[in-house]
Structure 1
Amino acid sequence: MIISGAFGLFEKKTVIAVGGYDNSTMGEDMELVVRLHEFSRMNRKPYKIHFAQDAICWSQTPEKLSELCKQRKRWQRGLFQCMWGHRKMLANPRYGAVGLLSYLYFLLYELLSPFIELLGVLTMVLSVVMDMLNVKFMLVFLACYALYGILLTLTAYFSRIYTIDQRLSFRELILAIIACFFETTFLRFSLAFVRATAFVGYKKNKLNWGKLERK
């Protein structure tokens, strides 16, 4: 349902046929892809939207945590705008797997997931305060969760390093492990909070892109 705006290639005549990019949303890349799905399904037009897994792309990214938070807040608002604008696709068999599976995945795992995560953390804290939780078991479970997440990330990272035949220094190896630990134990929950609070002041800032420093 989304091809990143920086890396998307589209058939021009089809994009023109659906009206091009929508400047009333902050997630115009996803909105265009979803609209292409909708247009093609409704008009029974054969089409394909592919992800090129071997493509090598370069883009500018935020290097500061504050800038990353601003980016993710904007993404969350754009996701909401897109899903609300195309809500008729949800569980609608006319849209095939996009409506029955993909839309539901983005609704639960992308749009609502930060609220589910923070609710889980709040439940855990309250359970400790009310003495309803085995703290020792909880800490062991959290450690297993963190190690499992780190293992998954490192597996994906090193698989990619291996496939492009790149060599890492010992320092780079240690930095990668530290970064994975930081991502699993701190960054993920921080971004969940940012995404959950993205709608504070939404009415005023729903189309305010703001300045974002990238390098």
Structure 2
Amino acid sequence: MSKPLPKPVVSLDQAQTQIIRYGDALDRSPELLRRVSFTRSWYALRDGETWRFAPSKFLRRQFERAEDYLAVKGHPDAEPDGDRTEKMLRQWFAVVPPDTRLASEVTVALEAFLAAYGKRRREEDRINVLHDELEQIRPGVLRRADDDRAGRIVSDPAICGGRPTIRGTRVRVTDILEMLASGAARGDILRDFDYLSEKDIGAALGYAAGMIDHRVIRAA
């Protein structure tokens, strides 16, 4: 006889709890980490000065551990697909509008989150935030991490759609994260982009680190 599934998520508080639980579960489960590559819809929660993330399927039920989530596959009471979960979550979350300050902020944060696990974000991935976050969208300068006090990371609507870049270049913070996540050493990046400096790479990592709640990347 199959073990009963955890109860469905039915409130915003429960959904937020699941986002927080996901990060802890991911650190403890290689199989859960393997499944990260299959995620296309991410849900983001601002936690102080950082962002936390979880895939929509982890917000379906009140999973306390990775094992609870992994046991759903093949369970007789499991939902047939994720559409029902997506529809349920729309009462609290919505996709971040592109070309906004908020889109730049959460995209960099998601890139950093995934890079910490050696993963990369795909262009088709969707990022959803709370409705309250969307109500506060307004033009302005991106918040910057302490490592960026020298002004090396800038956001100009006329350059790369306002995505944070290295000052005086079209190299995005996410470009640097992706190269490091793909296995490139800092020296490789500096050889390929001879107009960048070690401090530029450090500033990009520092900026990204300010968006998540753990170390960004393990890079040579």
TM-score over 0.5 (shorter chain): no
Q: Normalising to structure 1: TM-score of the pair?
A: 0.26
Q: Which has a greater percent of strand? A: 2
Larger Rg: 1
Q: Which has a greater percent of helix? A: 1
Q: Normalising to structure 2: TM-score of the pair?
A: 0.26
